[in-house]
Amino acid sequence: MPPALRFGTRKTAVAGCLLAAALAAWAAPPGFSTSLSPVLVGQYVSRFGQAAQERLLGWQGYLKARRTEAQPEREPALLAAVNRHFNRARFLSDNEHWGVEDYWATPAEFVASDGGDCEDYSIAKYFALKELGVPIARLRITYVKSSRLSQAHIMLTYYATPQSEPLILDNLDDEVRPASQRPDLVPVYSFNDEDVLIAGRGRTGAPGQIRLWRELTARLEREART
């Protein structure tokens, strides 16, 4: 693997049933399809049109159907399927889509609106794989410089072990490829729920230091309470 691609490596009976369902919904991890509520779906239908409901329920059904595949020996196939699934969404710049220079959408916003840019694909894939049981230690949202695009770019990377060559899940490519096959990428930093790694420096920090991640996390928590 080229040195430039050593991405940093590294958690009454009816009333009782209704209460249990409400508690389960409240406990759903933010960003997961299981945190969808009818109220949240309704809000996104109001924002993005009736088709948003079909997309959101389709997202939920897709992940539910794949939960049996979340086993270590099946993870490569699962990565490929999730990468292709989310890559079907439209690519839209933040200015075009949200009217701002930089915006990190929640998975529900990305799915409901059927579009986003590179970080939105990466975030949706990250939370989908977490929901399917892939340990977050294997997943990193990675910020790179792309010679192919002549600009900054974000994609998801996967490490089977801390020492493994990462696999790249990129909205520009439906195939999941090892980093050695992507010489166009020069890593800058990567992060997950646990830490931030700066390429080539070995420094770590907390993901909360990334402003857009903090804002995303706050919106995820509001969604989970809706």
For 202-223, how does the pLDDT look when each residue is reduced to its tens digit (9 = 90+)?
778 899 999 999 999 999 999 9
Decide: 206 and 196 in contact? Cβ < 8 Å. yes
- Average per-residue pLDDT for the chain: 88
Map tokens 């509001």 to a residue.
222
The pLDDT of residue 184: 93
The pLDDT of residue 26: 45
Q: How far apart are CA 107 and CA 126, in angstroms?
A: 9
Whole-prediction pTM: 0.87
Q: Is the pLDDT of residue 7 over 80?
A: no
* Structure-derived torsion over alpha carbons of residues 174, 8, 183, 79, reported in degrees to the nearest 10: -10
Q: How far apart are CA 135 and CA 62, in angstroms?
A: 19
Sheet strand arrangement including 204-205:
173-178, 167-170, 151-158, 139-146, 185-191, 196-198, 204-205
The pLDDT of residue 128: 97
Strand partners, 196: 191, 205
Band of pLDDT at residue 25, cut at 50, 70 and 90:
very low
Please write the tens of the pLDDT for every residue from 136-193.
999 999 999 999 888 999 999 999 999 999 999 999 999 999 999 999 999 999 999 9
Here the tokens at position 13 are: 């009976």
Q: How far apart are CA 91 and CA 165, in angstroms?
A: 28
